[in-house]
Amino acid sequence: MKHRFLLVVFAIVGLCCTACSNNAEIKEENVSRIIKTLSADDMKGRHAFSPEIRDAANFIAEEFQMIGLSPLPGQDDFLQDFSIYSISPSETEVLVNGNEVSEQHYFGLLNEESFTWQHPDADILYIGE
């Protein structure tokens, strides 16, 4: 998480450097302000698809506008909206040798309605406790 945060900070600083003239100065208080804002507790880690990620995006867009950057041609702002769809099964069932496995003990991503394991000689790998 810290690496992702530092990447965002360096990207903002890098954009500030390229957007400004050669005699522009990066001020420590501006860098500190940006870091403190994006790492603040109320940003809650800026988890994807959360209101806090939108707050962080708006803050960064305001910073871009403040340093004189322009949105891409044909765009009104710096934000890029897109749709993501997630489909989850309403119920799942896993049977091993005819015995049902509790849903806390399995995880699977499939693109089929049902799945039958065809390798009875495969080793079973237990992860965790």
Q: What is the pLDDT of residues 13-47, one digit of tens each?
A: 776 666 555 567 889 999 999 999 999 988 887 77
Residue 13 to residue 26: CA distance in whole angstroms: 8
Contact between residue 9 and residue 26 where contact means Cβ atoms under 8 Å apart: no
pLDDT confidence of residue 25: 83
pTM over 0.95? The answer is no
Q: What is the pLDDT of residues 89-128, one digit of tens each?
A: 677 788 888 889 888 887 777 777 777 777 777 777 777 7
| Neighbour count for residue 12 (Cβ, 10 Å) | 20
